[in-house]
Amino acid sequence: GQNIDQPTEMTATEGAIVQINCTYQTSGFNGLFWYQQHAGEAPTFLSYNVLDGLEEKGRFSSFLSRSKGYSYLLLKELQMKDSASYLCAVLGRGNTNAGKSTFGDGTTLTVKP
Amino acid sequence: DVKVTQSSRYLVKRTGEKVFLECVQDMDHENMFWYRQDPGLGLRLIYFSYDVKMKEKGDIPEGYSVSREKKERFSLILESASTNQTSMYLCASSREPGQLGGELFFGEGSRLTVL
């Protein structure tokens, strides 16, 4: 099966940098996604990592270490609109998990002035 | 602009009623998914489909069924609604998973309350 852990809540200050961690244990791995979900809205795609290393996309970066079962999402120059829930999702592979994205419970980030 | 459309944003049903949740995508995606989202439990996969008339059970299929008669449409059916099925239901679609661009595109969600 899949098990994904991320912190429940984080708070940071506008303009600062915040790192949201995600650890996973999986029987098959085909990539890791990060999604952003504002309250009352649907999740939207932020990033995808399938190989080890850092993927940068503007103010957001995502890192993956497959050997450690670890990823993080890094948000720079925080803005008030970044207050949202951030979801880590592992894309499975193999007989039982192929094609399935399994989500962590999400990290609610609050950005304060 | 790509779009996943769910038929109802809010529904209130009574215990024992049959409930249909409809989802349509206009991106010609092969893959479609139904999730439910509950506080403290995150997003949990109910069913998914790789192709027309194909379906696969997710992690919590009990009490649900699905139908995919056309590529663009994926329906979730609650044969006999129960109060523990009160939840936010999210439909999603994707291109081939495991490739760049295989991310999920979500509909706006259907909030179902079962009384």
Most A CBs within 10 A among B9, B55, B103, hence the mutation to make, goes to B103
In the predicted structure, residue A96 carries a pLDDT above the cut 90? no
Q: Which residues, given as ranges, of chain B have pLDDT below 50?
A: none
In the chain, the amino acid numbered A92 is G
In the predicted structure, residue A28 carries a pLDDT above the cut 90? no
Both tokens assigned to A101: 């994205």
- Picking from B58, B97, B105, the nearest residue to A30 by CB comes out as B97
A45 vs chain B: nearest CA distance in angstroms? 7
Task: Give the closest residue to A87 by CA, choosing from B98, B42, B38, B37.
Answer: B42
Helix (H) or strand (E) holding B31: strand B31-38
3-class SS at B4? strand
Chain A CA closest to residue B108: A42
Chain A CA closest to residue B30: A99
Task: Report the pLDDT value the prediction gives residue A35, as an integer from 0 to 100.
Answer: 97
Task: Report the pLDDT value the prediction gives residue A74, as an integer from 0 to 100.
Answer: 98
Task: Report the pLDDT value the prediction gives residue A30, as an integer from 0 to 100.
Answer: 82
Contact B23, B4 (CB under 8 A): yes
How would residue A2 be classed by pLDDT, with cut points 50, 70 and 90?
confident
Task: Give the closest residue to A102 by CA, choosing from A88, A89, A113.
Answer: A89
Work out the average pLDDT over A47-70: 95
User: How crowded is the C-beta side of B76, counted as CA atoms within 13 Å?
Assistant: 32
Q: A105 and B104 in contact by Cβ < 8 A? A: no
The C-alpha atoms of residue B73 and residue B5 are separated, in whole angstroms, by 10
- Picking from B31, B43, B100, the nearest residue to A103 by CB comes out as B43
Contact B21, B6 (CB under 8 A): yes
Beta strand B110-114 pairing with B105-106: unpaired
| pLDDT tens track for A75-86 | 999 999 999 999
How would residue A1 be classed by pLDDT, with cut points 50, 70 and 90?
low
Residues of A with Cβ-Cβ distance to B106 under 8 angstroms: 42-44
How would residue A95 be classed by pLDDT, with cut points 50, 70 and 90?
low
Instruction: Decide if B38 touches A, using CB distance below 8 A.
Output: no
Task: Report the pLDDT value the prediction gives residue A89, as an integer from 0 to 100.
Answer: 94
Average pLDDT score over chain A: 92
Q: A99 and B31 in contact by Cβ < 8 A? A: yes
How would residue A52 be classed by pLDDT, with cut points 50, 70 and 90?
very high
Q: B31 and A103 in contact by Cβ < 8 A? A: no
Beta strand A9-13 pairing with A107-112: parallel
3-state secondary structure A67-102: CCCEEEEEECCCCHHHCEEEEEEEECCCCCCCCCEE
